[in-house]
Structure 1
């Protein structure tokens, strides 16, 4: 296994992030969602390196095979961890791809660290710009929604993850966009997270306001969101992104759930390749050209 040291905890123990590094070429860094690990990017890690890209995916602290820390589950620290990854691997001209909670890391890194080493960013089903309902964010989700998540995690984390996984992929009575083995695979990944990180990161992605972070973003940006996302609704998140990043390309996946990195894997891979600019010359136009709004 490969690890990157990003610091030490309050007891002087090393904090190490588990990562994978595939292919050669222009670097792409994939940042996973809550409460998974970098393994969720299976279909992107299998495809993107075939197109002349170096694809790095890492697992944030507290999740997967990374160090289980008690502290540091807020976005300033998580953005600093991302900075350590880019510096340790000496990456330049990077494309950052943040899924769900990972979109927050992208936004905070670009603001907090001036976008160093990064040439473009993609937000996929991301929690940006701001999820929590407040007086100046009336379209956000009520605090009670997140309180119920915390309550479910504390009561029976494994049952919560099972129910959450079905919502995540849009599984219902008559809708089965993924198989039961895929649901089992995702649950096994999420179960590796520490209870502390699972809980604390809900507070982080729910209550962190990224609106000011986004206003400092100047590099090319792509926003992708499913219209049937019941986990992070597109009207609260993706659709509002161009208010704060006017130059962003916004792509809606009609009928897609939150976990579109699986349910729409081929389309997502092609749209990312088109955005990065390394798609084969004889490739079809791709879905982004047909559905993109500016």
Structure 2
């Protein structure tokens, strides 16, 4: 089972690495509470199509060590960059979901683009959702605190109660089975209370709006019209406006869990995005061979 040690503090972190070693590299960073398993509808078909698909279990999540500290954005981004170094990956497309988008953004702005060619922000909470003087349209901090109280009182009930909104099941095309919902709730509960509250604190304090103009590489932003966890106007649309080279793809009727309800479409969009970068990278080599 593949592990590496975080270069920040030595925490043992788990990852998966599937597909051909020579394929275009995609590194997946999951949502809060869950590990690499959430990406099965993207990572498996992409690996089968010849892409090298690497997925990280952030600290306290999945099979990584359940530690007390390190749930700040700089440390999480350092963990991710450590994985790129550990595997000596080049030409990487970083794909983050929800709070994973913040880790992806900070990884690039803090550690540079020597290993990263492109970024995909899927249903991201970035640039941030909480109201501030610079962002008066954001969510009231009092609402964030009230939500935190509900979360701490009964995490299992919290995850279960929010499932319908998470998948936007009011639209018939977004049907997910009760078995899958139970499975995802169980994955969420595998992250202990310290890891869960630690990653929620990242979201409650998140503001990476000032970093997005520094992402000088192609950025794909994928977001749903009915994402109640990260409303489109507050997150995806803002992110796409702030990056220098951004493409926004809006999925009609999609919620936060579009990785499952719109799995085939998301996989196809990622394959096109990653493939376009791989084709461009190969052009000089082909030209030199003539």
| TM-score (structure 2 length as normaliser) | 0.90
Aligned to 1:248: 246
TM-aligned CA distance change 1:224 to 1:134, over 3 Å: same
The 5 A counterparts of 1:172-187 are 172=170, 177-187=175-185
Q: Counterparts of 1:121-200 in structure 2 under 5 Å?
A: 121-172=119-170, 177-200=175-198
- Contact 1:127–1:205 (8 Å) recurs in 2: yes
Question: Shift in Å at residue 85 of structure 1?
Answer: 0.3
Where in structure 2 are the equivalents of 1:221-260 lying within 5 Å? Answer: 221-260=219-258
Q: How far, CA to CA, are the matches of 1:114 and 1:45 in structure 2?
A: 25
**1:275 aligned counterpart, secondary structure:** helix
Please report how far the alpha carbon of residue 8 of structure 1 lies from its aligned counterpart in structure 2 after TM superposition.
Answer: 7.1
Q: Does 1:17 pair with 2:4? A: no
- Contact 1:110/1:116 (8 A) holds in 2: no
Which deviates more, 253-262 or 137-146?
137-146
Contact 2:126 2:239 in 1 (8 A): yes
Deviations 1:174-203 (A, max 9, x none): 886211011011011111001011112111
Q: Check the 8 A contact 1:6/1:17 in 2, yes or no.
A: yes
Quote the residue 1:2 is aligned against. Answer: 2
Q: Distance in 1 between matches of 2:240 and 2:254?
A: 20
User: Is residue 2:272 matched to residue 1:274?
Assistant: yes
Distance 2:144 2:212 in 1: 23
Deviation string, structure 1 residues 158-189 (Cα, Å, up to 9, x no partner): 11121133321123598862110110110111
Residues 70-103 of structure 1, C-alpha deviation per residue, up to 9 Å, x if partnerless? 1110100000000110000110000000100100
Deviation at 1:36, TM superposition (A): 1.2
Which segment drifts farther, 19-28 or 200-209? Answer: 200-209
Matched residue, 1:82: 80
Partner in structure 1 of residue 53 of structure 2: 55
CA distance change for structure 1 residues 8 and 249 in 2, over 3 Å: closer, same or farther?
Answer: closer
**Cα distance change on mapping 1:28 and 1:8 into 2, 3 Å:** closer
Question: Tell me, what secondary structure is at the counterpart of 1:137?
Answer: coil
Q: Any gaps of 5 or more consecutive residues in structure 2? A: 280-290
More displaced stretch, 79-88 vs 152-161: 152-161
- What CA distance in whole angstroms lies between the structure 2 residues aligned with 1:110 and 1:7? 16
Aligned residues: 276
Runs of 4+ in 1 over 6 A off after TM superposition: none
Deviates more, 1:237-246 or 1:224-233: 237-246
The alignment yields a C-alpha RMSD, in angstroms, of 1.9
Counterpart for residue 205 of structure 2 = 207
Note the residue ranges of structure 1 that are not aligned, 5 or more in a row.
Answer: 282-294
* C-alpha spacing 1:3/1:135, structure 2 compared with 1 (3 Å): same
Contact 2:8 2:78 in 1 (8 A): no
Give the conservation status (yes or no) of the 8 Å contact 2:24–2:275: no
Partner of 1:287: none
Q: Deviations over 1:206-247 (max 9, x none)?
A: 212101221110011100000011111111100111231142
Could you tell me whether the CA contact under 8 Å between 2:2 and 2:16 is conserved in 1? yes
Whole-Å Cα distance in 1 between the matches of residues 234 and 49 of structure 2?
33
